[in-house]
Amino acid sequence: MSDGTDLRWPAADFSRVPYPVFNDPGIYAREQERVFQGPIWCYLALEAEIPEIGDFKSTFIGDTPVVVNRNNDGVIHAFVNRCAHRGTMLVREPFGTTQDHTCIYHHWCYDLAGNLIGVPFERGIRGKGGMPETFDKRNHGLQTLNVATYRGVIFGSFSHEVESLESFLDKPNMEYLDTMFNRPIEILGHWRQRIPGNWKFYFENLMDSYHAGLLHQFQTTFGIMRTTQRGGSKMDRLKRHRVLFTVYDSDDLEASDEQLLKNLGVYDDTLSLADPSMIEFRDEVGDGCAIMMMALFPSVIFQRLSNTLATRQIRPRGPNEFELNWTCFAYADDDEALRKLRLKQVNMIGPAGYVSIEDGEAGALIQRVIGRERDRYSVIEMGGLGPIEDPDSPLTEVPVRGFWRYYCHLMGYQAEGAPAWVPGEA
């Protein structure tokens, strides 16, 4: 195990990624401190998950357990899920409603803003026992996080110097959230998967549209996403997030292109569905996009795939495993047919989804074979080398390099020949 500081990045444009980032425990520990608890915003929950006063949700930033709740004024607070007394896990349930949080161990009690409000036997009994005179409850509140919301999405940060949430999200992502959350939503439920791979593999995967038309045969075969459809990517000014979209049924294939795709084995027109109702698509937004995937550095994806709506939160569980937490939702004003369509389309996403389980297999296969290599690198050249700019084709891995550039900035890694990060740029 290294201390996570000594890592060679041999390409100035981040087109080479050293394998130890995926399995070195020292690097993993450094990520928790410098990325997840660094000067960024991490997804915590949707407001619709805690709509009422006293509602709470257990969530995470990196592998640190966090509770997010709504206090008596309706204000949202978040804190590390750890009693300030002896370090006991304070909230045990995934969801619930409460007036306060009381630790099971010694019954220390906190209000919904994280202030310590009760210590049993603080003054002892009949002059015996009790806390010392110097003990002041005001100094023993929970470790609280900065909280900000945008369009009903709750983000938290350990940093007090973090930029504003709006600055962090930046333009394309705010526009996408404006559209996705333009009316009240209803939570349909949650899924969890434990994928035997490194968390960053999953984020890379979401930045990489090159794989989408190859690995995911279902969506290629049934026309949900083909490399030949119109689409694109939009990145923020720092190229750390990415929105991917493709326009349904927009293939502009020449006969020769079609033959090429068949020869490549990415498109099997002999297959058909006995019940095609699942792959119907209703253009709810009016932009024709059957796929819209927004990956926000470092740990959340907002997705619209056909008519499914979901967030996917990444929870690292050590260097070799991560949990993917899905929250599926619908619009409160759905008609019955649309709600039924969303239900049928769950078969395409989630832990058994026709266009999602393959990513888990790809990640597991990386983790099985990278071993102890310190001087071997994954190769990220599809879409070109050099500057990281919005790609004009789905055949690209360029946004993956944007992810690694910002990751290296936070981790303090200097790629060989790369210009130093300009102060104030972040």
**Given the rule CB under 8 A, which residues bind other proteins?**
94-95, 187-196, 215, 217-218, 221, 268, 271, 273-275, 278, 323, 328, 343-344, 346-347, 350-352, 354, 357-358, 360-361, 364
Closest distance of CB 50 from other proteins, Å: 13
Residue 275 CB, nearest distance to other proteins (Å)? 4
State in angstroms the smallest separation of the CB of 308 from other proteins. 11
Do 187 and 311 meet the contact criterion of CB atoms below 8 Å apart?
no
- Percent composition of the chain: helix, strand, coil (DSSP 3-state, to 5): 25, 25, 50
Q: Collapsing DSSP states into helix, strand and coil, what is residue 426?
A: coil
In the complex, minimum distance from the CB of residue 423 to other proteins, in angstroms, rounded to a whole number: 42
Coil/strand/helix, residue 125:
strand
**In the complex, what is the shortest distance from the CB of residue 368 to other proteins, in angstroms, rounded to a whole number?**
9
CA distances (Å), 294 to each of 84, 175, 279, 309, in order? 36, 11, 21, 12
Judged by beta carbon, residue 102 or residue 327, the one nearer other proteins is 327
How distant is the alpha carbon of residue 82 from its chain centre?
23
Which residue, 165 or 188, is less far from other proteins as judged by CB? Answer: 188
Q: In what order do the strands lie in the sheet with 116-118?
A: 101-102, 109-110, 116-118
- Shortest distance, CB of residue 280 to other proteins, whole angstroms? 13
Q: Are 377 and 404 in contact (CB under 8 A)?
A: no
Smaller CB distance to other proteins: residue 196 or 384? Answer: 196
> Of 269 and 375, which has the nearer Cβ to other proteins?
269
Rounded alpha-carbon distances, angstroms, from residue 402 to 202, 237, 272, 327, 394: 15, 10, 38, 26, 16
Q: Which two tokens stand for residue 105?
A: 């161990």
Minimum distance of other proteins from residue 193's CB (angstroms): 5
Comparing CB distances to other proteins, the nearer of 179 and 217 is 217
Question: Which DSSP letter does residue 334 get?
Answer: -
Indicate the residue among 107 and 368 with the shorter CB distance to other proteins.
368
Select from 298, 351, 302 the least CA-distant residue to 323: 351
**Contact in structure between 314 and 299 (CB atoms under 8 Å):** yes
- Nearer to other proteins among residue 14 and residue 218 (C-beta): 218
Going by their DSSP bridges, the two strands 95-97 and 308-316 should be labelled as unpaired
